[in-house]
Chains A and B, each alone.
Chain A
Amino acid sequence: MSISAVLIANRGEIAVRIIRSCAALGVRTVQVYSDADVDSLAVKIADKAVHIGASPAAKSYLDQKKIIDAALAEDVDAIHPGYGFLAENPDFADAVVSAGLIFIGPSASSIRMLGNKVSARALVQSIGVPTAPGSSSILKSVEEAVELSEETGYPLMLKASAGGGGRGIRVINDVLELRSMYPQASAEAKAAFGDGSLFLEKFIAEARHIEVQILGDGARCVHLGERDCSLQRRRQKVWEEAPSLISPAVRELLCQQAIRICEAASYKGAGTVEFLYDTVSEQHYFLEVNTRIQVEHPVSEMVTGIDIVKEMILICGGDSLAYEQADICIRGHAIECRINAEDPAKDFLPWPGVIESLSIPEGEGIRFDSMLHEGCVVPPYYDSLLGKLIVWAPTRGECLSKLGDALMALKLDGIPTTTSLHRALVSDSHVLSGDFHIGFLEEWLLSQYPS
């Protein structure tokens, strides 16, 4: 493995997570930071910290030149982009390589092939993986969208080709809505992603979100099982678990298709292939590939015992995959709850501030990935994720019970958080029985959750 020093081009809990894996490998760490993060945990625990700019991300964590200049000045071998910010930007991956450094992630060409939703759909169709009924290429006009909608039916989803991670998606209920929303959706996609291209897909309401964790070395891939991330609010995941409750035959099929997709893109590093599984028709459809480490990777780590961030570093440092598929066993059950700085009583309004006191549950099978410490300031500039409570137990039932105790023991004062939402979810009968789909949480919030 050729990497002896890594620059972390991210912040918050994932920066802390990456530094810990680097330390375990004996790799030196350089943490870049903005004005707002001067006192952050990642800055404190990294071997070296380098200030790169003002608090708004555009002036710091999204500034490619400042990050690459810092990497060259600090003489690191590689840059880890984490998730968000520059993690799925192929131009950044190219720029890192052009500067003579290693990008800890897939090649820019893999990111381009899989990151654009329309080209990814075409790729997976070409190898026989089903996609939801819809566009085979970018929509050229609203008239073409109307024509296609006669085949897919309503409701349908109008999606930004350059979107992803739940952004740039609209649910359309009829042809009038399609005609009126189309120009607005295109303009918004142009503003948000710099590309106004749209495509459409049939909307599947009663579906589970099932995603497969992949590791690849550019030549071959293995899977680390799947995760169920169906509990979502506004297309953002709230609660994730592994394994999912789908049948062993469907699990095997999805995992094998995910491997085929990633091998077709010569995938290197850690990636996730997302599917929708229609619980009514029992059909599954490819959704998208996320070419990065994901927020919810710890549940897969807990059930496989594999440190995914460490494997990413080893592979991108030149090692071959350390595992054959037969080496990887799924043991027990793990659930992750995202603890966000949001107020459940105010329609989940994000609320930054100061963490006045903090008490973290401990014990076997309990993990809390976070950048929090007492007195730390949660700035308003970045996303609202404060930490992730991950619990493992031999069975799902024991895991839910242990999670309930851990959530009661998690105390976080100073700002509102989503801990109370998770305490309510962990005792809900549908959640306990695993009977939910991607629309469940929003309906439940309206009918069951006392705000």
Chain B
Amino acid sequence: MSKEQILSPLPGIFYRRASPESEEFKSQGDSVCLGDVIGLAEVMKSFHEIKSQVAGDSITFLVEDGDAIMPGQVLAELDG
């Protein structure tokens, strides 16, 4: 089975929730459709949704909530 990757489009801080009280956008193992929001990037006090450019099952996050991320970095993998 091939692995699909979700890459960060921008540099920033990665969050898995819209706010500390919110539910995670995606939990480990969830399936993901094209365009689903998988996280939020905070870049210099502005917030940007990170949408999946691929679809697949069983998401595995490779970065933690609050980690600094770089453009092109693999944020998560999906079973394609």
Cβ contact within 8 Å between B11 and A352: yes
Q: Which of B25-76 contact A (CB under 8 A)?
A: 42-46, 48, 66, 68
Given the contacts A351-B10, A351-B11, A380 and B19 also touching, CB distance less than 8 Å: no
A191–B20 CA distance with the chains assembled, in angstroms: 11
Interface stretch, picked from A73-81, A133-141, A381-389, is A381-389
- A residues within 8 A CB of B12? 352, 380
In this assembly, does A349 line the interface, its C-beta being within 8 Å of a C-beta of chain B?
Answer: yes
Q: How far is the CB of B71 from chain A (nearest CB, A)?
A: 9
Cβ contact within 8 Å between A350 and B44: yes
Residue pairs across A and B with CB atoms within 8 Å: the count is 36
Cβ contact within 8 Å between A380 and B13: yes
Among residues of B, the one whose C-beta sits closest to the C-beta of A381 is B13
A341–B12 CA distance with the chains assembled, in angstroms: 13
Cβ contact within 8 Å between A353 and B11: yes
- A residues within 8 A CB of B68? 55, 380
A384–B12 CA distance with the chains assembled, in angstroms: 12
A380–B46 CA distance with the chains assembled, in angstroms: 10
Q: Which of A98-133 contact B (CB under 8 A)?
A: none
- B residues within 8 A CB of A191? 19
Cβ contact within 8 Å between B11 and A383: no
Cβ contact within 8 Å between B43 and A352: yes
Q: How far is the CB of B58 from chain A (nearest CB, A)?
A: 29
Among residues of B, the one whose C-beta sits closest to the C-beta of A341 is B44
- A residues within 8 A CB of B13? 56, 380-381
A351–B70 CA distance with the chains assembled, in angstroms: 10
Cβ contact within 8 Å between A349 and B45: no
A16–B6 CA distance with the chains assembled, in angstroms: 39
A381–B13 CA distance with the chains assembled, in angstroms: 7
Contact residue among A55, A56, A351 (Cβ-Cβ distance under 8 Å from B43): A351
- A residues within 8 A CB of B48? 349
- A residues within 8 A CB of B10? 349, 351
- B residues within 8 A CB of A56? 13, 66
Among residues of B, the one whose C-beta sits closest to the C-beta of A348 is B46
A191–B45 CA distance with the chains assembled, in angstroms: 15
Cβ contact within 8 Å between B43 and A350: yes
Among residues of A, the one whose C-beta sits closest to the C-beta of B46 is A350
A194–B66 CA distance with the chains assembled, in angstroms: 22
Residue-wise, chain A 39-63 has the 8 Å CB interface mask toward B (1 for contact) of 0000000000000000110000000
- B residues within 8 A CB of A352? 11-12, 43-44
- B residues within 8 A CB of A351? 10-11, 43
Among residues of B, the one whose C-beta sits closest to the C-beta of A415 is B11
- B residues within 8 A CB of A350? 43-46
A55–B68 CA distance with the chains assembled, in angstroms: 10
- B residues within 8 A CB of A383? 44-45
Q: Which of A337-361 contact B (CB under 8 A)?
A: 341, 349-353
A interface residue numbers (CB < 8 A to B): 55-56, 191, 341, 349-353, 380-384
Q: A56-B66, A380-B43, A384-B45 are in contact. List 14 more A-B contacts (CB 8 A).
A: A349-B10, A349-B46, A351-B10, A351-B11, A352-B43, A352-B44, A380-B12, A380-B13, A380-B42, A380-B68, A382-B44, A382-B45, A383-B45, A384-B44
B interface residue numbers (CB < 8 A to A): 10-13, 19, 42-46, 48, 66, 68
8 A-B pairs with CB atoms under 8 Å apart are A55-B68, A56-B13, A191-B19, A349-B10, A351-B43, A352-B43, A380-B42, A380-B44
